[in-house]
Structure 1
């Protein structure tokens, strides 16, 4: 488990605000860039070997450890350079950055050390597949085939909807898991599990496949699973960013790609960070980048990424009779072993749209889930400020109790960072079984966790 970062928001006050503002000003003084960055295209778009310009530039980024940032305000200033903050350690952060961004971080007074690149586990025999040592991971085609097999095996429990298309035209699906008819389903609380917003976070697709298999195989055998599928509607969106995921493994090795594959007008760069593109506090607070080349580019406007709009439209479609049927959610990511809850856009525990009781219910359930899987529980902004994230949107716009799970490994990255070996898949997805069941059990009244069921849920 990563060293816990002490929560200092209550002591921030004006000092933290001033410090954060000063650091943000310094960090944002130079234009941010990253893989796919806005820079002259010396290859004229495509090289003779068929490699596109943004593929070449993707190789310009790498992981760095940045020693020195210890507070959320300092980490927010680091993120404001356009890097992605990949892990938060006790006295440092791990970022994905290009050489220019690394230079700017050094100019801010931090010690910046290059880390090893993506793991070399051989090259797949065919494109758009995982290296041989990681062949247990599912590419898009294999994942869809696995899901179709589950649908055929458990037709009374599962059904599939194509809820939209990715930029490159791949199906984005939602699998409904419940036991009952449309009439009985209407009275059940709904719970949403989303996966794979960031392309290189392939373990999250395996999490989705595990949940489907576990729900199907254990219904009628495990009392808790049976009760939950009798009394809840579960929605699983296994792949929010299929284009990015396929691009990450297109050469049969790993590219370290994060964003989607949407072109950006007037730029050689490609891709939007889907988890900065949601329509709540979008671009509000220094928690994303306006530079198309940044790892955290927020897009040209909220929901400008087609994949985000598809999932947001699906969530909005679950408003029935003026009431949102989805009551709770988990968005799965890697890595750092964290359970996070909103808000990400402010350091404050409570803010417009978040009462003390809301916050306390979030924290109570979050801490209980974290106790079951060994993750660290905290408010998202305890790490650094983010804006336009799915959890802030789900709560701030739809009043869904939404969490982010950052899966294995811990913040040390010793288990493989974004690319843990296939040998850990079974262990690490099963590690979240209890937490998922706890969220399902709490979904009908999250305020029960703080003893206020009568006040809020009667």
Structure 2
């Protein structure tokens, strides 16, 4: 971050009185009686079936905290939400709450848009993320290789960094993939990918564990899967709570666009206005298609070189694993031993960071998700981490003062994950 931006952060932090406006105190502006276009609700849904019932109304499910779901419902969706019969509490006008987070007075001259609002300038926008990656290449040219795997819908590069003791050589070593920021508003995930990069480059020369892992693995990191959505979420100078990519006219949800069980099971929407719109066909989003192409290209001699994968999201503090499209613990392509290995590693990682481990469908049914595709097509051991916070305050927008602690919180989980990435079944005493 530039000195100018650091000065901006220092100047505004003293004026910031709260992390986020209390959700139950938002009211209409004086003199108005209009219904909010988007309303925040808390719903009590005790079972995966009830949570799936909520998701299928088309509302934007923001996160979960035990049986509590926090959702955004547009006016047209509220009747369907109420028709579920589940207990629900109106928490107020979403757009008023987003506006209360504050506007930025800093315009990035290189992109011509507003940057993150005051109190959030420590987050990396697209240009700053690219600058960080390029600086890593400068600092650690012997450990990293930077490349673009293709373009987003709005023609931004999808940058990927390889970390290896021989980054220019395709070695016969287990490969690990980290992807961040499929959903635009989940800015903390970009910071998570950038932390992984720094941990496994800056510490290579001094930390024997890091050195051993880098010497015996090839690590691929894609810090910003959805750069168009990121820039749109902050372009007005205040957050828009934008989730999808920027394909016309309302965007596609990248994490419902993957081509395994795409649109099969009521875990996505065929309506372009829905937050979980799966697109007109699998991989219709260029961002998911380019990652698909990269992963498909790592099949060498009939063997998939990528062994493990984490897709980082916010929020709810969860660790999830396949399948998401069915409530069953096992299904075609996922037997009892594999399910046990997924769960055991998931629980072990959760013991290090305090997250809740569970099979994805224990939350609610999803289809066309990245984890199901990675496992269902390539047998890549694929997890989703839903990061901080646990609940709706501060939701997707924790202040930048929390970035360091909430990314460092996953250091041990990442190390454990990399340790078992050569053969995940080792964690249950089985061979590969």
Structure 2 length as normaliser, TM-score?
Answer: 0.87
Deviations 1:303-341 (A, max 9, x none): 000100011111111111111000001000000001100
State the Cα distance separating 1:370 from its structure 2 match. 0.6
For 2:295, the equivalent position in structure 1 comes to 315
2:94 is equivalent to residue 109 of structure 1? no
Q: Secondary structure at the match of 2:414?
A: helix
Q: Distance in 2 between matches of 1:329 and 1:108?
A: 35
Can you give the 5+ residue segments of structure 1 that lack an aligned partner in the other structure?
A: 1-58, 264-268
User: C-alpha distance in 2, partners of 1:214/1:186?
Assistant: 22
Shift in Å, 1:429? 0.6
Match in the other structure for 2:53: 77
Q: Does the 8 Å contact 2:70/2:392 carry over to 1?
A: no
Cα shift readout 1:71-127 (whole Å, capped 9, x = no counterpart)? 111111111111122222333311122122123211222324134532513324222
For 1:60 and 1:70, the matched residues in 2 are separated by 28
SS for the counterpart of 1:437 is helix
1:235 aligns with 2:220: yes
Q: 1:142 maps to what in 2? A: 128
Correspondence for 1:436 among 414, 418, 432: 414
1:177 paired to 2:175 = no
Q: What's 1:358 paired with? A: 338
Matched, 1:301 2:278: no
Q: State the distance in 2 between where 1:343 and 1:164 align.
A: 28
Q: Is the 8 A contact 1:128 1:247 kept in 2?
A: no
Is 1:87 paired with 2:67?
A: no
Cα distance in 2 for residues equivalent to 1:108 and 1:366: 32
Equivalent residue, structure 1, for 2:308: 328
Q: How does 1:392-431 map to 2 (within 5 A)?
A: 392-410=372-390, 412-414=391-393, 416-431=394-409
Pair 1:114–1:100, CA change in 2 (3 A): farther
**2:143·2:167 contact (CA, 8 Å) conserved in 1?**
no
> Are 1:210 and 2:167 matched, yes or no?
no
2:404 is paired with a residue whose SS is helix
Relative to the length of structure 1, the TM-score reads 0.82
Q: Give unpaired runs (5+ residues) of structure 2.
A: 1-35, 108-112
Query: 1:205: Cα distance to partner?
Result: 0.5
The corresponding residue for 1:99 is: 75
2:31 aligns to what? none
Q: How far apart, CA to CA, are the structure 2 residues paired with 1:423 and 1:312?
A: 35
Aligned CA distance change for structure 1 residues 404 and 124 (closer, same or farther; 3 Å): farther
Q: Does the aligned pair in 2 maintain the 1:106–1:112 contact within 8 Å?
A: no
Given that 2:53 and 2:84 are in contact with CA atoms closer than 8 Å, whether structure 1 keeps it comes out as no
> Does the 8 Å contact 1:201/1:418 carry over to 2?
yes
Which of 260, 263, 285 aligns to 1:280? It is: 260
Q: Structure 2 matches for 1:29-40, cutoff 5 A?
A: none
Distance 2:253 2:205 in 1: 40
1:436 Cα shift?
0.8
Using the alignment, how far apart are the partners of 1:130 and 1:299 within structure 2?
Answer: 29
Number of the residue aligned with 1:60: 37
Question: CA separation in 2, counterparts of 1:359 and 1:295?
Answer: 30
TM-fit CA distance, 1:66: 1.9
Aligned pair count?
Answer: 387
Alignment partner of 2:165: what SS?
coil
- The Cα of 1:174 is off from its aligned counterpart by 1.1
Deviation by residue 1:152-172 (Cα, 9 ceiling, x = unmatched): 100000111110000000000
- Aligned counterparts of 1:128 and 1:307: Cα–Cα separation in 2: 24
Contact 1:124 1:253 survives alignment (8 Å):
no
- Mean alpha-carbon deviation: is it higher for 79-88 or for 169-178? 79-88
1:182 Cα deviation (Å)? 5.2
Match of 1:193 among 169, 178, 199: 178
